[in-house]
Amino acid sequence: MNARSLTPLLLLLSISTLLPSSFQNPSTKLYPGSSHRFAETLIRDLNLIPGIQEIDGDSPADDPSSPRLVERKLKLDILGDIGSGISIEELGQHAGYYQLNHTHAAKMFYFFFESRGSSSDPVVLWLTGGPGCSSELALFYENGPFNIADNLSLIWNDYGWDKASNIIYVDQPTGTGFSYSKDIRDLRYNEKGVSNDLYDFLQAFFEAHPKFLKNEFYITGESYAGHYIPAVTERVHRGNKEKEGLQINLKGFAIGNGLTNPSIQYGAYADYAYSMGLIGEAAHKKISKIYPICELGIKLCGSSGVITCFASYVLCNSIFTSILLVAGNINYYDIRKKCEGELCYDFSNMEKFLNQKAVRDSLGVGDRKFVSCNTLVYEALITDWMKNLEVGIPALIEDGIKLLVYAGEYDLICNWLGNFRWVESMEWSGQQAYSAAPMLPFTVDGEESGQLKTFGPLSFLKVYNAGHMVPMDQPKAALAMLKRWTKGSLEYEEHTSLVAEI
């Protein structure tokens, strides 16, 4: 590092140390999860970053004769009504491990649920954020085929996304959920590492499921996946263009309450909080004063090394924590609620369910402990946090890959306003037409469930009566959204067909 690049860095670091100590707890996850103490981890974080190099090229597998992808068919007892003519025996529900080929010893865990609708439905990849939180959070509490009852029984979810898609839930990056590696070098520090691993996974997945290769393919997810999703979409598109492996029939990507363009989204925090009455005018004015230095930090993170990224993470998150100090004990994923317990929500049934011996045996996870959110994975990605993932998106939508950005209106942490703003300001050939497009009611079963703005491949949807986890709060609207978006007509309700289905 030279002296010139050091100056703004020192400025950022010195300002961050001047902040009151109560501001210095920026460790809020972009997904419900326990926070860790910032001061304790600061030194560790900085030590973690250099030393461990990215891995390029091949590395030998544990046992070259064992298959890389091991998948088993699940035999789950699910109560209630499956909700279509199909029987559970016919339905393919699977869990598996894939030994990632560009890693030292990483095994990526996933669930794959074939559609309860039709096998020609699109293949959908779902990614939960954190970073470091398991996609099983979405599986069990949002859009999976079933929910967990308090007595740990599984019950069919009438609005599972498997009613309209063949859906894959992946635990990633390595270290998340049931995915693991014995080798610390398999930790991922940036979106390049994350998206290369996911690309390898998808190649192996389609190799094992060739009959789904012709189906349309969509990448979806939530929260910190606002980083992962554009990165992996870009990676798949590039792989297709360069004829690297199997051609994946990539059609679109959808980001739910995501973090994609931090510079714009951190600028929206105080405005959103003020507009929702979480903070008053004086606090809005005061907190807004932190923003210019945060903005500078993010800019430097985009052009220089990891330390400015780390400094901007600290600084910018002081905006968020300042709002929470004024707003009190709110659930920052749903401002209508209080933050109860360490997770802001109670997801303990999932951990109880997944730690049962019979369940583990059927999943093939051995005695590996399931952790909903992994702190080490989170920390490894701290300098990735302030990267702007919007930059690669215009090229994708210009190539006809469609993008849906949706957000529940009561989420603070990845609020709709910040998402609305970055989508609006994105430069692409349709920018003006998109900007001029009206906000239309998004109607589900005759009820207005949100507001939709759309032009060409780009759509933005604000979902009513929902927080951070839209499919959990508005399951029916979320399933309607997925169905209509993949079929190409978000605006219109499907008309009941007069012709009997064969």
Ligand X SMILES: *[C@@H]1O[C@H](CO)[C@@H](O)[C@H](O)[C@H]1NC(C)=O
Binding site for ligand X (CB under 6 A): 58, 68, 79, 101, 149, 151, 153, 200, 203-204, 207
C-alpha pair distances (Å), 112 with each of 159, 240, 268: 17, 23, 37
**Identity of the residue, 68 or 421, whose beta carbon is nearer to ligand X in the bound complex:** 68
SS3 per-residue string spanning 336-399: EEECCCCCCCCCHHHHHHHCCHHHHHHHCCCCCCCECECHHHHHHCHHHCCCCHHHHHHHHHHC
**Identity of the residue, 42 or 79, whose beta carbon is nearer to ligand X in the bound complex:** 79
Q: How far is the CB of 79 from ligand X (least distance, A)?
A: 5
For residue 491, give the 3-state DSSP assignment: coil
Among this protein's residues, is 223 annotated catalytic? yes
Residue environment code for 37-75, b if the CB has 16+ CB neighbours within 10 A, otherwise e: ebeebeeebeebbeeeeebeeebebeeeeeebbebeebe
CA 494 to chain centre: 28
Q: How far is the CB of 417 from ligand X (least distance, A)?
A: 38
Which uninterrupted H or E stretch holds 472? helix 470-473
Q: Copy the structure tokens of residue 33.
A: 């999860």
Determine the Cα–Cα distance for residues 175 and 181; give it in Å rounded to an integer: 7
Which is the catalytic residue, given 411, 449, 459, 473? 411
Question: Is 175 within 8 Å of 185 (Cβ atoms)?
Answer: no
Q: How far is the CB of 338 from ligand X (least distance, A)?
A: 26
Listed residue (113, 56, 161, 129) closest to 482, CA to CA: 161
Q: How far is the CB of 102 from ligand X (least distance, A)?
A: 7
Q: Copy the structure tokens of residue 368.
A: 């590996």
Q: How far is the CB of 207 from ligand X (least distance, A)?
A: 5
Determine the Cα–Cα distance for residues 31 and 267; give it in Å rounded to an integer: 20
Which is the catalytic residue, given 237, 263, 468, 473? 468
- Strand runs labelled E in 398-438: 402-408
Q: How far is the CB of 443 from ligand X (least distance, A)?
A: 32
Identify the bridge partners of residue 222 per DSSP, sorted by sequence position.
Answer: 256
Determine the Cα–Cα distance for residues 180 and 252; give it in Å rounded to an integer: 29
Which uninterrupted H or E stretch holds 264? helix 262-275
Listed residue (315, 333, 319, 330) closest to 413, CA to CA: 333
- The DSSP secondary structure of 173-240, one letter per residue, reads STTSBT-B-S-GGG---SHHHHHHHHHHHHHHHHHH-GGGTTS-EEEEEETTHHHHHHHHHHHHHHHH
For residue 98, give the 3-state DSSP assignment: strand
**Identity of the residue, 212 or 378, whose beta carbon is nearer to ligand X in the bound complex:** 212
Q: How far is the CB of 478 from ligand X (least distance, A)?
A: 22
**Identity of the residue, 10 or 149, whose beta carbon is nearer to ligand X in the bound complex:** 149
Strands 107-113 and 154-156: unpaired
Q: How far is the CB of 176 from ligand X (least distance, A)?
A: 20
Q: How far is the CB of 349 from ligand X (least distance, A)?
A: 11
**Identity of the residue, 16 or 203, whose beta carbon is nearer to ligand X in the bound complex:** 203
Which is the catalytic residue, given 165, 181, 195, 223? 223
**Identity of the residue, 61 or 437, whose beta carbon is nearer to ligand X in the bound complex:** 61
**Identity of the residue, 15 or 108, whose beta carbon is nearer to ligand X in the bound complex:** 108
For residue 53, give the 3-state DSSP assignment: coil
Q: How far is the CB of 214 from ligand X (least distance, A)?
A: 18
Which uninterrupted H or E stretch holds 480? helix 475-487
**Identity of the residue, 156 or 310, whose beta carbon is nearer to ligand X in the bound complex:** 156
* Number of neighbours of residue 480 by Cβ within 10 angstroms: 21
Strands 166-171 and 217-222: unpaired
Which uninterrupted H or E stretch holds 291? helix 291-303
The residues carrying an active-site annotation are 223, 411, 468
